[in-house]
Amino acid sequence: MLAEILRLDANYKLVGESGDGQSAYNLCLEVKPDLLVLDAKLPGLNGVDLLRRISKKLPTMRVLVFSGHENPVLVREMLEAGAHGFVEKTAGLFEFKKGLETVANGGTYFGPAVAALLRNAVANPSASSAPDFLTDREREILQLVAESNSTKEIAAKLGISVKTVDNHRTNLMRKLNLHDVASLTRYALEIGLIEPKKTL
């Protein structure tokens, strides 16, 4: 839907679109856009890690996050990774266009729900702090665990040993003070690494 909206807007030229993190990363390196509209939740390489990597390669690119997930940890991590704005999908098209225009013109913009989260985070700093910063690899493994991949499958996908995966999983549980896969999955949902499963 967003792609169609942008195609019809004479102020912008759509140079590419992608449905997964790694493809989006590769496409950005190829076309070097002035402005990136990014969802926090992407299959494979998640939005935070994608933004961390691409910001180093394309430091002048402007970034607007447009996501169905908004919580203090995710917003903070997106901003630290290089985002210039964050608009929640529930805010609607008007807020998205306002955010897009502001970020494209060099400003910073937050949707109403995100702005409220940030005000609360300033007033209550402990509420928005993660138990401990996760490494990029730990975040990758957290996402894969939450997506129901086995240890062997994770090792194969990341090209690392089963023992290394187990070590990262142990570190994850220690840092987050979580002790089973269900708890890790709930945490991944809370910070927007995965989407809730749809029920029929």
Domain boundaries, the chain: 2-128, 136-190
Q: Which two tokens stand for residue 195?
A: 């989407």
pLDDT of 189 reads 79
Does the pTM surpass 0.75? The reply is: no
pLDDT in tens, 64-98: 998 887 777 788 888 888 999 999 988 888 899 99
pLDDT of 200 reads 42
Q: Which two tokens stand for residue 62?
A: 């402007």
C-alpha distance from residue 76 to each of 31, 45, 192 (Å): 27, 18, 12
Q: Identify the bridge partners of residue 65 per DSSP, sorted by sequence position.
A: 38, 86
Q: Identify the bridge partners of residue 67 per DSSP, sorted by sequence position.
A: 88
pLDDT in tens, 22-70: 899 999 999 999 999 998 888 878 888 899 999 999 999 999 998 887 7
pLDDT in tens, 107-143: 999 999 888 888 876 666 554 454 456 777 888 898 8
Q: Quick one: fold of 136-190?
A: Arc Repressor Mutant, subunit A (1.10.10)
pLDDT in tens, 146-189: 888 999 999 999 999 999 999 988 888 888 878 888 888 888 87
Q: In what order do the strands lie in the sheet with 85-88?
A: 35-38, 62-67, 85-88, 109-110
* Contact call for residues 85 and 109 (beta carbons, < 8 A): yes
* Contact call for residues 63 and 133 (beta carbons, < 8 A): no
CA 32 – CA 38 distance, rounded (Å): 14
pLDDT of 60 reads 94
Q: Quick one: fold of 2-128?
A: Rossmann fold (3.40.50)
CA 188 – CA 171 distance, rounded (Å): 15
C-alpha distance from residue 52 to each of 14, 47, 91, 108, 138 (Å): 22, 9, 25, 18, 14
Query: Which residues fall within 8 angstroms of residue 26, CB to CB, at 6 or more apart?
Result: none
